[in-house]
Structure 1
Amino acid sequence: MAKLPELYVAVDVEADGPIPGPYSMISLGMAVVGRPDLTFYTELRPISDDFVPKALAVSGLDRERLLREAPTAEQAMSAATRWIDGLRRIGRPVFLAGPAVFDGMFVHWYFMRFLGKSPFNISGAGLDLRSYWMGLTGCEWGDSRKTMIIKQLGLTGLTHTHHAGDDAAELAQIFEAILKSRQSRETDPTQSG
């Protein structure tokens, strides 16, 4: 049996505070790198009464509407799991975020808290955009900001909207360009960061 390819799943979340538990993930977006047809988006009902107004404002989402209309965390994470597990027909899902620390913290905590397991694996481990770029190019941390990566890759027309679905798709495009850059480096060793 042939080994299935890795599918890098670009993940973005919007949250109403800095950590899960006391605060809520209010939207989740995912997009498969190189496959713009494979996307997932859901909003989530807040799980606590606490929120940071500035954090909530970033997303532009209406908290009262989410409390009335959004799926519960269990419903949303179950739908996300079904979508991720559906990808297994064509590849092995690998979590990707930028930054993985923030998005990964929320996603892993929500999977474990509301479903008891994560479809990405027990550790919730995955790739961090900036760390990957540093390893590929040998640059310093300060030169690994997403805006710097976009500029070095010559990407145009990308917008960061703070809509989790849009931003996951943007991240997928950036990482696709990084993978193409890596392939170019492998075939032309004179290329540098």
Structure 2
Amino acid sequence: MVAALSESDDRFRSAPTTTDAYFSADIETDGPIPGTYSLLSFALVYAGSFDGKRFLRPSGYHKTFYREMQPISNNFQPEALQVNGLDRNALCVRGMDPQRAMSEANEWISNVAGNARPVLVAYPVSFDWAWLYWYFVQFTKEGSPFGYSRCFDLKTAMAVKARIPISEASRSKLPSRLSSSRAHTHNALDDAIEQAEIFANVFEWEGR
């Protein structure tokens, strides 16, 4: 058992052969789960890279992707629309077809990542991942550009670095030095940029 653990440790200590390209993601929906409800808008923002030794924060958050989409069902929760402020009836008419939107997102991620491997970032990642993974698999022949598990949960990272329980690691409790100066607007693009800044701050922070 000790030998097996030692071999595993050696594998992690070896020089990385790949680089992660991080994409901050934010979504706005009309309900709690994909399929039954609809993803109405989503944004992706290039948030930096890490090769195992050096994290590179982008000089600015200019590499962005944003789409608003047509609903895929008649189900919706009014309270969800009150939060995001999106006009669901208007999106039924002018929203982009999900197949086109997700295919364009897949291509954009590939172009921005280049030879690096895309990693989805969110705070927390569970909700955004579930929706985006389902939509990529459902509406594109390529499937998810993040594979089935390449994601970075900012809430977990914060809990580990701050040495606090997950239940205490909410974004609302972030110390000012790790927060973003941007407002949280519930516009997917605004919030994805805000989150990208928080991600870089937390990633670079040595913790306590």
Q: TM-score of the superposition, structure 1-length normalised?
A: 0.87
**Correspondence list, 1:112-123, <5 A:** 112-116=137-141, 117-121=143-147, 123=148
Hey, what does 1:171 align to over in structure 2? 195
Q: 1:11 aligns with which of 25, 30, 45?
A: 25
**Correspondence list, 1:90-101, <5 A:** 91-101=116-126
The residue type paired with residue 200 of structure 2 is E
Residues 1:40 and 2:54 aligned together: no
**Correspondence list, 1:69-108, <5 A:** 69-89=94-114, 91-108=116-133
- Aligned-residue identity in percent: 34
Contact preservation (8 Å) 2:157, 2:202: no
Q: 1:62 aligns with which of 52, 72, 87?
A: 87
Would the alpha carbon gap of residues 69 and 156 (structure 1) be closer, same or farther in structure 2, given more than 3 Å must change? Answer: closer
Hey, what does 1:22 align to over in structure 2? 36
How far apart in 2 are the matches of 1:5 and 1:53? 42
The residue type paired with residue 174 of structure 1 is I
Shift of 1:154: 5.0
The residue type paired with residue 89 of structure 2 is E
How far apart in 1 are the matches of 2:163 and 2:63? 31
Residues 1:147 and 2:169 aligned together: no
The residue type paired with residue 73 of structure 1 is P
Which range is displaced more, 39-48 or 124-133?
A: 124-133
Would the alpha carbon gap of residues 173 and 92 (structure 1) be closer, same or farther in structure 2, given more than 3 Å must change? Answer: same
Higher RCO (CA-CA < 8 Å; seq separation 6+): 1
Shift of 1:147: 1.8
How far apart in 2 are the matches of 1:165 and 1:145? 20
Contact preservation (8 Å) 1:118, 1:124: no
The residue type paired with residue 167 of structure 1 is D
How far apart in 2 are the matches of 1:138 and 1:152? 17
Shift of 1:156: 5.2
How far apart in 2 are the matches of 1:119 and 1:143? 31
Structure 1: gaps of 5 or more residues: 186-191
Structure 2: gaps of 5 or more residues: 1-15, 48-56
How far apart in 2 are the matches of 1:181 and 1:3? 24
Hey, what does 2:74 align to over in structure 1? 49
Number of equivalent positions: 181
